[in-house]
Amino acid sequence: MILGSIFAALGQFDDPRFRRVVLMGLGLSVLLLVALYVVLVWLIFWLVPDSVSLPWLGEVGGIDTALSLASIPLMLVLSVFLMVPVASGFTGLFLDQVADAVEARHYPMLPPAEGAPFLSQLADALRYMALLIALNLVGLLIVIFTAGTGLVVFWVINGFLLSREYFTAVALRRMAPDEAHRMRRANTGTLWIAGVLFAIPLSIPVVNLFVPVLGTAAFTHLFHRLARG
């Protein structure tokens, strides 16, 4: 069931609606990261003096400029870990487009999904983004202090989050919240395994940018297969 859903999602990546959501999520993510860098540089110039007086060295200038330049590689490193949750959060705003494309091709007999209200989608996307950023930063620390062996923890954490958020978001398009949460809890093991299979490529740069769309498509298939029993 899980592998069948994943292969079905991969087989539809030629759909223009899939590629459009990837590009929108990536574009918004890059804009946000650039904005964060601009704010960081502004704070450096505002808080750090242009020069300091050091013993034996005298007046040393250009401190703020040096720090702003040093922040570039820092942001590049952080972007590897932040790009994924940020892109995932933004992609959540366009989830309906991916799920609609899957249902139009594979489940054409279904009536149109009502979908969740935009404000509800926005709140869910922001909540998920904040939680995913926090846990990925924790995962980054674990990976650093365990010499990389903590990647398993990273996969398990993100696997749970992906399974919870993607399945719930897909189910809410066609179910009441209580019913959707009940269905998710009844299939926690299956969904968690599927989430881990998508969490593993989250640790691969570039590949991780496609995970939100493919995950949404695969969990749409899983939802319908589980609903059929």
Q: 42-61: per-residue pLDDT in tens?
A: 776 666 555 545 455 545 45
Mean pLDDT of 151-169: 83
Higher local confidence (pLDDT), 46 or 188 = 188
Geometric angle at alpha carbon 191, from 81 and 145, rounded to 5°: 35
* Dist. CA 56–CA 163, nearest whole Å: 59
Structural domain spans, the chain: 2-22+79-228
**Helix (H, G, I), strand (E, B), or coil: what is residue 93?**
coil
End-to-end CA distance of the chain: 11
Other residues' Cβ atoms within 10 Å of the Cβ of residue 214: 20
pLDDT at 87: 59
* Cβ–Cβ < 8 Å for 113, 173: yes
**Helix (H, G, I), strand (E, B), or coil: what is residue 11?**
coil
Higher local confidence (pLDDT), 198 or 136 = 198
Other residues' Cβ atoms within 10 Å of the Cβ of residue 76: 11
| pLDDT tier at 70, thresholds 50, 70, 90 | low
* Dist. CA 43–CA 11, nearest whole Å: 46
Q: Which two three-digit tokens encode residue 40?
A: 């960081």
Higher local confidence (pLDDT), 125 or 38 = 38
* Dist. CA 18–CA 217, nearest whole Å: 9
pLDDT at 175: 85
C-alpha pair distances (Å), 81 with each of 43, 57, 197: 22, 38, 18
| pLDDT tier at 192, thresholds 50, 70, 90 | very high
Q: pTM score > 0.75 for this model?
A: no
DSSP letters for 102-130: HHHHH-TTSPPP----HHHHHHHHHHHHH
Residues 6+ apart with CB under 8 A from 103: 110, 113, 220, 224
pLDDT at 227: 87
How do residues 102-152 score in pLDDT, each as one tens digit? 998 999 888 887 766 667 666 766 776 777 777 767 777 777 777 666 778
Mean pLDDT of 17-26: 78
| pLDDT tier at 222, thresholds 50, 70, 90 | very high
pLDDT at 66: 59
